[in-house]
Homo-oligomer: A and B are copies of this chain.
Amino acid sequence: MSTVPSPEPTPVVAPNGEPDTALAARLPELREEYAALQARGLKLDLTRGKPSAEQLDLAEPLLGLPGEGVHTDDSGTDVRNYGGLDGLPQLRRIFAELLGVPVEQLLAQGNASLTLMYDTVVQALLFGVPGGERPWSREEQVTFVCPVPGYDRHFAICEELGIRMVTVPMTPDGPDAEAVAALVADDPTIKGMWVVPTYANPDGSVVSEAVARRLVSMPTAAPDFRIFWDNAYAVHHLTEHETKSANAIDLAAEAGNPDRVLMYASTSKVSFAGSGVAFVASSPANVAWFRKHLAIRSIGPDKVNQLRHALFFRDADGVREHMRKHREILAPKFRAVVEILTERLGDASVATWNEPEGGYFVSVDVVPGTASRVVELAKAAGIALTPAGATFPYGKDPLDRNIRLAPSMPPLDEVRVAMDGVATCILLAAAEAAASS
- Where the two chains meet, the residues of A that have a C-beta atom closer than 8 Å to any C-beta of B are 48, 50-51, 53, 56, 59-71, 78-84, 110-112, 114-115, 118-119, 122, 125-126, 137, 153, 156-157, 160-161, 268, 272-275, 293, 296-305
Which residues of B are found within 8 Å of A126, using beta-carbon distances?
Answer: 122, 125, 161
Are A274 and B67 in contact (CB-based, < 8 A)?
no
In the assembly, what is the distance between CA of A309 and CA of B430, in Å?
53
Residues of B within 8 A of A59 (CB): 80
Return the chain B residue nearest A79 by Cβ.
Answer: B274
A81: which of B56, B79, B114 is its contact (CB, 8 Å)? B56
- Closest B residue to A119 by CB, please name it: B297
CB-based nearest B residue for A269: B82
CB neighbours (8 Å) of A293 from chain B are 160
Distance between A191 CB and nearest chain B CB, rounded to angstroms: 16
**Chain B proximity of A61: nearest CB distance (Å):** 6
A331 to chain B, nearest CB (A): 20
In the complex, what distance in Å separates the CA atom of A273 from the CA atom of B81? 5
How many copies make up the complex?
Answer: 2
A272 to B186, CA, bound (A): 52
The residues of B that contact A60 with a CB separation of less than 8 Å are 68-69, 71
| Interchain CB contact under 8 A, A64 and B67 | yes
Shortest Cβ gap from A406 to chain B (Å): 12
CA distance A161 to B63 in the complex (A): 39
Known: A110-B111, A112-B299, A114-B297. Contact between A63 and B56, CB under 8 A? no
Q: How far is the CA of A78 from the CA of B70 in the complex (A)?
A: 26
Please, how many angstroms separate the alpha-carbon atoms of A63 and B300 in the complex? 18
